Each structure stands twice: as C-alpha cells, then as structure tokens.
C-alpha cells in the first residue's frame, strides 16, 4: 500500500511540475464533459416532463388532412367515430395560433364553453360565464408580456380584419406555466368570430378509448371509415417528442463540434506517442530500477487524476447549469422557438445512467490514450527510449 501511495504522490508531483499543460488539458477536458452532460441532462429532463404532461392527453386525436395539410374537421365526423366499437366518447376541440405584434409572440387561442378539467383548478380569478361576451382567461406568460390583470382588455385583430376586444376574467397560476403559459381561453362563438371559422367545423376531435390495447384498432377503423382523417395516438405524440429532443440535442452537439474535435485531436496526439520529456522520464525511471508495471501505474494515476477531476467538475457544473440555472445556454434551442418560454423547474431523471454514458465517452478514451503509449515506451530499452 505504501508503494502505491508513493507512486500516486509522484504522479501528482509530475502534474504539478507541468502546471500550464495540465491546466490547459483540464479546461478543455472539463468543458467537453460539461457540454455533453448538459445536453444529455437537459434533453432527458425535457422528455420526462413531456411524458408526465401527456399522461393527461386524450387517447386518440383525429384530424382532417386536406391536400397534405391539417385542415378544419367537420364535427359530424364525430357521429361516425362514435359508432366504432371501443370508442367511449368523441368531442370537438377548438384552438389555433394568434401572432401578437406588440410582444412579437404567438399565443394559443382555445375555444371552450366550459373550462377543461385538466386546467380548471389552475385559474386565479374566475372563468367567464355564458353571459360574459368576449371574456377570456389568459396564461401567466401572456399576462406578464402584456402587463394584464383581471378586468383589463386585450385588442385582437380577427381573420376578417375587424378588431375585437377581449376582457380578462382570470389568469392561470404561475405554477401551471408548462400547460398554460401562452394560452388564451374564450367562448367557442367568440373563437369562431376571431378566426372566421364556419359553424360545424373544429380543429380536431378528441376520441376517448378506455382500453389502451384497442387504440391502434380504433385508429385503423377510423381511417377505413373516413379516408381523409388522420388519427394520432398518445404514444405517437410521445415518440415524436422523443425524436424531436434527440434531434435538437444532436444539433447542439454538432454546434460544439469544434471543442469535441479539439479534444479528439488531443487524445489522438497522446495516443500517437509520448513527448521527448515524457520519454526521457520513462527512460530514467527504468534506469534506476522501475519495472514496467510501476511505470504503467504511474501513468494510470496521472491520467486518472486528470480525467476524474475534469469529469467531476464537468458533471457537477452541468447539473447546476441544468437543474438550478434552468439550462440557460441550451434552453432556446432545446425548448423551442416561441418567445414566451414557460418557466419551470426541471427534475433529474435517469441521471446515473447518463453519468455512466458521459464517463464512457470521456474518461475511457483519455485513459487509453494515456496508458497505451506509456506501455510502448516502458517495454523498450531505456537507452533507446532516451535517445529517441
């Protein structure tokens, strides 16, 4: 044990003698680990949030496709879908996007004569009643962007060019930003007038299927009965979001490809051989009686100390960056393009597995690049090593 401790002490003293080189290696190494860990932590946390959010979504959403585009679906389609065995209920949904020039943001306008059960308990104030013409409930992000409170008004330009004035009756709580940040809920008739949508048309149809194993069968029967309909299941939406976050995390890694390339070149340079000073050190150690195993242990401790220090620094910094600072560096690309970003606290998910992945991608290559050339020099005659 004393011999191992002495070799470790000698390895640390060797690194301290090369302060500038060790510092540059540590900075590049730590930044590479920080980048990889942050992207993996952020994308995995967003996937988990999306999965929790979509637990409340309908089993099946039916849209109408016209010329390859999503179009308005007739509400009469619901009567046909209700006749399919396994379908519990069908209800239309009314929603669309509205661009607000003052804030340069897109709002989600939703028509509902009764507040959806998923967000009914999240309203501060009250929901508009049947006698409240042009009343609405807005999300916390909309209220902050427009400096609105209950009783204020929102001017909206409709699809027919007319100007409509909505009165704020309530505001969704800040804790529900993930669901309602850019949402504006109003009566269905008011929604139709703003978007100039005819009677008997909806955005899509929510289809409830009690038995989850029958969702695919019901979707196939809907397509057979209604050729222009496009059923979308909850599982398909989740897979789409997973693919989207994977793609965006890949884009982020590509954006930092320069740093990764620099690290790869550095590792390849170390694997190609030792420097003249390192070869001379190995030759001197062999000349004074060091064995091959001792030299390999020395180089192992040098690489291990550098790699573990940089690995822990990068992972801890990534954890703080993602779960305490909100991932400010990567949030705009991984969250989306909207101006009204919802503020929510990410929670760690499968972090141990991700740490193991980062460890294999960063520590293992560096250790191999350190030990392999040292072994080549250690098995060579000391005189030849120093002459080379």
pLDDT in tens, the chain (388 residues): 676 677 677 677 777 777 777 787 788 888 888 888 888 888 787 777 777 666 667 788 999 988 888 889 999 999 999 999 989 989 999 999 999 888 888 899 999 887 766 666 667 766 766 666 788 899 888 888 889 988 899 999 998 889 999 999 888 876 656 677 888 999 899 999 999 998 899 999 999 998 888 988 999 999 999 999 999 888 888 777 777 667 666 666 666 666 666 666 666 555 445 555 666 666 666 666 677 677 777 777 877 888 888 899 999 999 888 888 877 776 666 555 555 555 656 777 767 888 888 888 788 877 777 776 666 655 665 555 555 5
Rounded to 5 degrees, what angle do the CA atoms 290, 292, 296 make? Answer: 105
- Separation between Cα atoms, residue 95 and residue 108, nearest integer Å: 7
CA distance 277 to 294: 18
Tell me how many degrees the CA angle 140-146-150 measures, rounded to the nearest 5.
65
Give the CA distances from residue 297 to residues 291, 305, 372, in Å, rounded to whole numbers and listed in that order.
Answer: 10, 12, 12
Ordered domains of the chain (ranges, CATH) = 2-53+242-387 (no CATH), 60-232 (2.40.40.20)
107 phi/psi in degrees, rounded to 5: -105, 155
Q: Report which DSSP code applies to 212.
A: G
Distance CA 326, CA 260 (A): 24
What is the distance, to the nearest Å, from the Cα of residue 207 to the centroid of all Cα atoms in its chain?
28
C-alpha to C-alpha distance for 172 and 124, rounded to whole angstroms: 6
Burial label for 180, CB within 10 Å (0-12, 13-18, 19+), is buried
DSSP character at residue 158: -
């Amino acid at each position: 044990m004393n011999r191992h401790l002495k070799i470790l002490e000698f390895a640390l003293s060797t690194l301290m003698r090369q302060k500038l080189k060790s510092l540059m290696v540590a900075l590049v190494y730590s930044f590479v680990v920080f980048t990889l860990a942050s992207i993996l932590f952020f994308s995995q946390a967003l996937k988990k949030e999306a999965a929790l959010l979509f637990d409340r979504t309908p089993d099946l959403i039916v849209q109408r496709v016209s010329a390859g585009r999503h179009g308005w679906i007739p509400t009469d389609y619901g009567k046909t879908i209700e006749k399919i065995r396994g379908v519990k209920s069908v209800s239309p949904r009314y929603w669309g996007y509205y661009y607000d020039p003052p804030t340069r943001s897109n709002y989600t306008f939703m028509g509902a004569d009764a507040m959806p059960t998923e967000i009914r308990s999240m309203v501060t104030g009250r929901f508009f009643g049947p006698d409240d013409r042009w009343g609405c409930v807005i999300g916390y992000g909309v209220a902050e962007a427009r400096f609105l409170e209950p009783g204020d008004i929102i001017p909206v330009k409709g699809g027919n060019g007319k100007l409509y004035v909505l009165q704020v009756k309530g505001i969704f709580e800040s804790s529900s930003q993930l669901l309602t940040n850019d949402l504006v809920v109003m009566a269905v008739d008011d929604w139709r007038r703003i978007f100039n949508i005819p009677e008997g048309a909806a955005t899509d149809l929510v289809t409830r299927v009690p038995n989850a194993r029958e969702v695919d069968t019901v979707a196939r029967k809907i397509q057979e009965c209604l050729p222009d309909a496009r059923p979308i299941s909850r599982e398909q939406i989740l897979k789409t979001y997973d693919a989207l976050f994977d793609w965006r995390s890949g884009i982020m890694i590509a954006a930092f490809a320069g740093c990764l390339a620099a690290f790869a070149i550095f590792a390849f340079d170390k694997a190609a051989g030792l420097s003249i000073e390192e070869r001379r050190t190995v030759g001197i150690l062999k000349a004074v009686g060091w064995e091959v195993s001792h030299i390999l242990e020395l180089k192992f401790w040098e690489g291990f100390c550098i790699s573990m220090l940089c690995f822990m620094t990068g992972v801890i910094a990534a954890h703080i960056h993602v779960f305490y600072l909100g991932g400010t560096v990567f949030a705009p690309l991984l969250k989306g393009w909207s101006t009204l970003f919802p503020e929510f606290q990410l929670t760690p998910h499968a972090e141990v597995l991700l740490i193991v992945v980062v460890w294999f991608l960063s520590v293992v290559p560096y250790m191999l690049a350190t030990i392999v050339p040292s072994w080549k020099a250690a098995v060579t005659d000391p005189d030849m090593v120093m002459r080379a």
